Structure 1
Amino acid sequence: MVRYGELSTKGKNRKDFIGRLCGNVERVLADLESIKIYPKHDRMHIVLNGASFEEVDKRLKKVFGIQTYSPVIRTEKTLAAIKETSLEIMQATYKVGMTFKVATKRADHRFEYDTNQLNLMVGDYLFDNLPEPKVEMKHPDLVLRIEVRQDAVYISNQLLHGPGGMPVGTAGKAVMMLSGGIDSPVASYLALKRGVDIEMVHFFSPPYTSDKALAKAKELTGILANYSGKITFIAVPFAEIQETIKEKLPEGYLMTVQRRFMLRLADMIRQKRGGLAIFNGESVGQVASQTLESMAAINNVTTTPVLRPVATMDKTEIIRLAEEIGTFELSIKPFEDCCTIFAPPRPKTKPRIDKAIEYENRLDVDGLLQRAMDGIEISTIRPNEKFIDDQTADQDLL
Structure 2
Amino acid sequence: MKWDLILVRYGEIGLKSNYVRRQLIEKLKSHIKKSIEIEGVEEYKIESPRGRVFLETPSIEKSINALSYVPGIVSYSPCKTVEPEVASIVDMAMQISQDRLAENMSFAVDARRVGEHEFTSQDLKEIVGKELRVESGASVNLDDPDYTLTIEVREDTAYLFTDVYSGLGGLPYGVQGKLISLFSGGMDSPVATALMIKRGCDPIALYIDKGGFGSKKERERAVKVAEKLSRLTPEGLKFIKLDFEGIYSAIKDDADKETCILCKRAMYKAGERINEIEGAKGLITGESVGQVASQTLDNLMTLDESTSIPVYRPLIGFDKSQTQKISMRLGTYQASKEDVGGCPILPERVATVSDPMQIKETENKIKIDEEIEKTVENREVDLIKPD
- Using the size of structure 2 for normalisation, the TM-score is 0.92
Counterpart secondary structure, 1:95: coil
The whole-number CA distance in structure 2 between the counterparts of 1:113 and 1:298 is: 63
2:376 paired with 1:379? no
Residue 4 of structure 2: aligned partner: none
Which aligned pairs between 1:26-175 and structure 2 lie closer than 5 A? Answer: 26-30=33-37, 31-48=40-57, 50-51=58-59, 53-109=60-116, 111-128=117-134, 130-175=135-180
The alpha carbon displacement at 1:275 in A equals: 0.9
The answer for unaligned runs of 5 or more in structure 2 is: 1-6
The alpha carbon displacement at 1:319 in A equals: 2.3
Residue 310 of structure 2: aligned partner: 305
2:293 paired with 1:288? yes
Whether the aligned pair in 2 keeps the contact of 1:5 and 1:67 (CA below 8 Å) is yes
Question: Which residue, 196, 199, 202 being the options, matches 1:197?
Answer: 202
Indicate how the Cα distance of structure 1 residues 117 and 323 shifts in structure 2: closer, same or farther if over 3 A, else same.
Answer: closer
Per-residue CA distance 1:45-71 (angstroms, 9 max, x = gap): 0112x21x2322222223222112111
The whole-number CA distance in structure 1 between the counterparts of 2:369 and 2:322 is: 39
2:349 paired with 1:342? no
Equivalenced residue count is 377
The whole-number CA distance in structure 1 between the counterparts of 2:125 and 2:378 is: 67
- Using the size of structure 1 for normalisation, the TM-score is 0.89
Counterpart secondary structure, 1:113: coil
The whole-number CA distance in structure 1 between the counterparts of 2:375 and 2:107 is: 64
The whole-number CA distance in structure 2 between the counterparts of 1:92 and 1:252 is: 67
Which aligned pairs between 1:384-395 and structure 2 lie closer than 5 A? Answer: 385=387
The whole-number CA distance in structure 2 between the counterparts of 1:310 and 1:291 is: 14
Greater Cα offset, 253-262 or 264-273: 253-262
Q: CA RMSD in A?
A: 1.8
Counterpart secondary structure, 1:148: strand
Residue 390 of structure 1: aligned partner: none
Give the letter aligned to residue 330 of structure 1: A
Per-residue CA distance 1:137-164 (angstroms, 9 max, x = gap): 3322222222221231111122222222
2:271 paired with 1:266? yes
The whole-number CA distance in structure 2 between the counterparts of 1:245 and 1:155 is: 63
Whether the aligned pair in 1 keeps the contact of 2:102 and 2:138 (CA below 8 Å) is no
The alpha carbon displacement at 1:102 in A equals: 2.3
The alpha carbon displacement at 1:107 in A equals: 0.7
2:32 paired with 1:25? yes
The whole-number CA distance in structure 1 between the counterparts of 2:124 and 2:263 is: 67
Per-residue CA distance 1:67-105 (angstroms, 9 max, x = gap): 121111111223322121111111132222222232221
The whole-number CA distance in structure 1 between the counterparts of 2:192 and 2:365 is: 34
Counterpart secondary structure, 2:382: strand
The alpha carbon displacement at 1:29 in A equals: 0.2
Runs of 4+ in 1 over 6 A off after TM superposition: none
Whether the aligned pair in 2 keeps the contact of 1:255 and 1:343 (CA below 8 Å) is yes
Per-residue CA distance 1:218-258 (angstroms, 9 max, x = gap): 111111122223211111110011112222x2312322222
Counterpart secondary structure, 1:233: strand
2:246 paired with 1:237? no
Greater Cα offset, 186-195 or 261-270: 186-195
Residue 10 of structure 2: aligned partner: 4
Residue 392 of structure 1: aligned partner: none
The alpha carbon displacement at 1:308 in A equals: 1.0
Question: Which residue, 353, 357, 360 being the options, matches 1:354?
Answer: 357
Whether the aligned pair in 1 keeps the contact of 2:35 and 2:69 (CA below 8 Å) is no
The whole-number CA distance in structure 2 between the counterparts of 1:288 and 1:373 is: 28
The alpha carbon displacement at 1:263 in A equals: 0.4
The alpha carbon displacement at 1:334 in A equals: 1.9
Indicate how the Cα distance of structure 1 residues 240 and 112 shifts in structure 2: closer, same or farther if over 3 A, else same.
Answer: same
The whole-number CA distance in structure 1 between the counterparts of 2:131 and 2:381 is: 62
Whether the aligned pair in 2 keeps the contact of 1:68 and 1:159 (CA below 8 Å) is yes
Question: Which residue, 15, 19, 22 being the options, matches 2:22?
Answer: 15
Whether the aligned pair in 2 keeps the contact of 1:15 and 1:41 (CA below 8 Å) is no
The whole-number CA distance in structure 1 between the counterparts of 2:242 and 2:266 is: 11
